[in-house]
Amino acid sequence: MAQRRTNGSKLLMTVLCVVAACRAVPVTDLLDRASQRSDRLHSLSTMLTQELKMPEMAPLCLTISAAFSVQVVTNSPSRLQDSHFPPIGRVIMPRPAMCHTSSLQTPNDKEQALQVSESDLLSLARSLLRAWVDPLLVLSSSANTLPHPAQNSISNKIQELQEHSKSLGDGLNVLSGKMGPAAQTMSLLPYRGGNDLGQDKISKLINFQFLLSCLRRDSHKIDSFLKVLRCRAARMQPEMC
């Protein structure tokens, strides 16, 4: 009987110790890991957009009629003339404002961003991340049949994107649990693009590219928010920033 008690108390002690050890993971570490993940996420999406902007698109552009107002989304900075889309051809490209996440209010400059609280920042990040789960599925399924020469590489990257997105989401969920109830709130941003990107080859490609551009921006937002959070949480460790 006494032995049972000692055994029970020992078990309890070990459980407490484990819990305490688990709780000992600092938030800064978690944020650091989260920001690394989001960094990788953004890199992948940038690579994808660049891979899609291949010369093969040029003949496609030529076939697009000029009736629609078009915007050539050249996200390549600095080399603005370095567009794979010839100026003569205008591509029917949905505007970035037409991203399904554009309704989410995010800071537009640094001052605004620095004024946002940590929980709000985290909530924004989580919402954005959550909004892309479904579109990534659509992208993934479309990538298998994408009429593009780099289709295999694109498909792999999207696969990786999905994995990172999932793990980041889980991590952010843990973080939000540590940062209070305000961090738990999330905005819903449903994706209404349907399961199909398009019927014909051209529209498929265009929609694919458009989605990727939206993803690129959103992943950058997530990354920026998390890095700001990381810096704020590591006031004692300025080398983090």
**Of 197 and 234, which has the nearer Cβ to other proteins?**
234
Residue 14 Cβ vs other proteins, minimum distance, rounded to whole Å: 38
**Of 96 and 151, which has the nearer Cβ to other proteins?**
96
68 CA to centre of own chain: 30
Residue 87 Cβ vs other proteins, minimum distance, rounded to whole Å: 5
Residue 236 Cβ vs other proteins, minimum distance, rounded to whole Å: 14
**Of 54 and 114, which has the nearer Cβ to other proteins?**
114
Residues in the chain: 241
**Of 112 and 152, which has the nearer Cβ to other proteins?**
112
Residue 144 Cβ vs other proteins, minimum distance, rounded to whole Å: 28
**Of 64 and 240, which has the nearer Cβ to other proteins?**
240
CA–CA distance from 221 to each of 31, 114, 141, 190 (Å)? Answer: 15, 13, 25, 18
Binding site for other proteins (CB under 8 A): 39, 42-43, 46, 71-81, 87, 95-97, 106, 108-111, 113-114, 217, 220-221, 223-224, 227-232, 238-241
Sign of torsion over alpha carbons 69, 73, 74, 77: positive
Token couple for 166: 């999932």
- 3 state SS of 197: coil
CA distance 26 to 176: 13
CA distance 201 to 68: 18
Asked if 213 and 75 touch (Cβ cutoff 8 Å), the reply is: yes
CA–CA distance from 52 to each of 59, 84, 140, 154, 225 (Å)? Answer: 14, 10, 14, 8, 27
Residue 137 Cβ vs other proteins, minimum distance, rounded to whole Å: 24
**Of 46 and 141, which has the nearer Cβ to other proteins?**
46
| Long-range own/partner contacts, residues 64-70 (CB < 8 A, 24 or more apart) | 64/89, 64/90, 64/91, 64/92, 64/202, 66/90, 68/92
- For the packed helices 201-233 and 133-143, what is the interaxial angle rounded to 10 degrees? 140
**Of 111 and 200, which has the nearer Cβ to other proteins?**
111
Residue 16 Cβ vs other proteins, minimum distance, rounded to whole Å: 35
Residue 108 Cβ vs other proteins, minimum distance, rounded to whole Å: 4
